[in-house]
Structure formats: structure tokens, C-alpha cells
Amino acid sequence: MIKKYYQSILLISTVAVLFTLGSCDPARKNEKVEAEAISNYLASNPADTFKLEPDGLYYLDVLKGTGRTPVAHDTAHIVYTGKFTDGTVFDTNAGGTDLVRPMGEGYFISGLDEGIMLMKEGGKATFLIPSKLGYGTQGWYSIPGYSPLVFDVQLVKVIPGPSK
């Protein structure tokens, strides 16, 4: 009788521990931290009205361009600064030469590709890019996984792609 009692307690304890461990899913915790970082960034920039795109990209026109809007296979010349939501810069080419890359061919993270293709030549914009459109759950070099990123981008020039 006592043996069955201890077996029952052991079984209940094991189930409780497994349930507790299962509810400590690190991915959910990281997703929550990321969502809070995005929310805090938007709250701390109330004068900026970001447009939320269907896939989760936040887009803000800083200066509307008047030229061509790039499409897939066009070549974009951009000046950019990449930052974390706390303002720490992780990469920039400001003050240097333009970054020149074809659009829609995988040279940019998907959020940057998408944001640039919403701009017009001569324009400036800010993108708030969730990790699913950035460097994902694994990150990249100094960028940890689940990091939402802010990019300030100037679209300097657009060169039509080969089919134009």
C-alpha cells in the first residue's frame, strides 16, 4: 500500500516537472521579448507613424522620393544604417560608398528587400524589421536571434533590371 502511494506521488511529481519544463519554451520567451522590444520602440517614437505591412514589416516614409520604385531584378544604390531597437548601430555605409545590389535576389534580408521596394528613388525611409524578416531565430554574427532591427535607408538610385 505504501509502495503504491510513493509510486503515485512519484508519477504525479514527474508529470508536474515535465509540464513545467514544457511550459518554459525558450522560443516563446524569446518571441515575447522581441514583441516587447518592438512595442517599446514604437511607443518611444510616438511622432513616427509606421505603416504595418501584412507580413510584419513596419515602414515609415521619412522623405518621399519622386523617382522610380524598384522592382525585382532592378539594381538599387542605397545608403543605410542598421540599428538595434535601443539605437545601437551594428552596420552602416553612411559617409562611404553606396551599397549596390539587385533587388529580390536574396542579397538583402527579406525585410530590407521589401522595404526598399516600397520606396521611390530619392526617398528616405525607416524600417522596423521583426526577426522573421531579418536574421531569424539564429541571428547572424553580432546580431542575436530574435532581434528586431531598425534600418534608416536612403534610396539614391535605381537602375532598371535586365528585362526593362
Nearest to 137 by CA among 38, 27, 57: 27
Domain residue spans of the chain: 2-159
- Tell me which fold the domain 2-159 belongs to: Chitinase A; domain 3 (3.10.50)
Q: What is the pLDDT of residue 162?
A: 84
Radius of gyration of the chain (CA): 22
For a pLDDT cut of 90, what percent of the chain falls above it? 73
Q: Is the pLDDT of residue 4 over 70?
A: no
- Average pLDDT of every residue of the chain: 86
What is the C-alpha to C-alpha distance for residues 132 and 66, in angstroms, rounded to an integer?
30
Q: Sort strands 51-52 and 149-159 into parallel, antiparallel or unpaired.
A: unpaired
Write down the pTM of the prediction: 0.82
